[in-house]
Amino acid sequence: MTSEELTPALELPEDEALDLLSRGELSIEGRLLSASNATLYCAVTCDGVAAACVYKPVAGERPLWDFPDGTLAEREVAAYEVSAASGWDIVPPTVYRVGPAGPGMVQLWIAEDESVDVVRLIRRADSPALRRVSVFDAVINNADRKGGHLLPSSGGRVYGVDHGVSFHAEDKLRTVLWQWAGKALPSDAVETLRVLRRGLDGSLGERLGELITQRELRRTRARVDRLLARGRHPEPSDDWPAIPWPPM
């Protein structure tokens, strides 16, 4: 199938996207060969609406010695739940469901603005969108925020994808977004963290409890508490690599 024959990306309101991803019929149209785990380009179709999506079946995951619990797909959905609860909508609509290759995560495909130079983008310190991503990554303990996992879209919005190695109980933050390290958190980020903290003791915590371990959930609460207590962006640690490899 040529690129011209692939089902194109479709912008949808979040509730409509989640309904389509949950109920639609999945048809595999290709595979992203650069991904280390099975990552399939699919069409999802329901009630005459068709959109491109990403499908990552659990059966295609390579075991990771430092992430022995749960699945990468469930962690991807957990990242979406935190993103949605924050109101920042960094992660595209994502669901966990059964597809042609078994259960896995299905995420709406985002049309990237190819006119944006991502290398230049990740160096910016004046981007509120990127700064929100950096706080989000600190919350979910993202161990793999590469530049290629940031998708600039039209209108200046920046999405984040590929969150399968997040929520570890030990600190593992690795990111290309260290330009705010040690700086005071913006007031809107502090308020969002407070919202997340309340949610972690309520419906958000209940949902995450279905996707990650209870220890990982407790540590997520502790990370938010620490961010609120310090009021500053985290700084790189000397105990593990601060930047993922390759960075893009």
- Domain range summary for the chain, segments of one domain joined by +: 3-230
CATH label, 3-230, candidates 1.25.40, 1.10.510, 2.60.120, 3.30.70 = 1.10.510
Residue 75, φ and ψ in degrees, nearest 5: -70, -35
pLDDT band at 244 (very low <50, low <70, confident <90, very high): confident
Does position 207 have pLDDT exceeding 90, yes or no? yes
Which pLDDT score, from 0 to 100, does residue 121 have? 85
Least confident interval from 33-37, 39-43, 106-110, 139-143: 33-37
Does position 39 have pLDDT exceeding 70, yes or no? yes
Does position 125 have pLDDT exceeding 90, yes or no? no
Q: Quick check: 53 and 99 in contact, CB under 8 A?
A: no
Q: Where are the alpha helices (DSSP H) in 179-244?
A: 187-200, 203-208, 214-230
Which pLDDT score, from 0 to 100, does residue 20 have? 98
Which pLDDT score, from 0 to 100, does residue 104 have? 97
In this structure, which amino acid lies at residue 226?
Answer: R
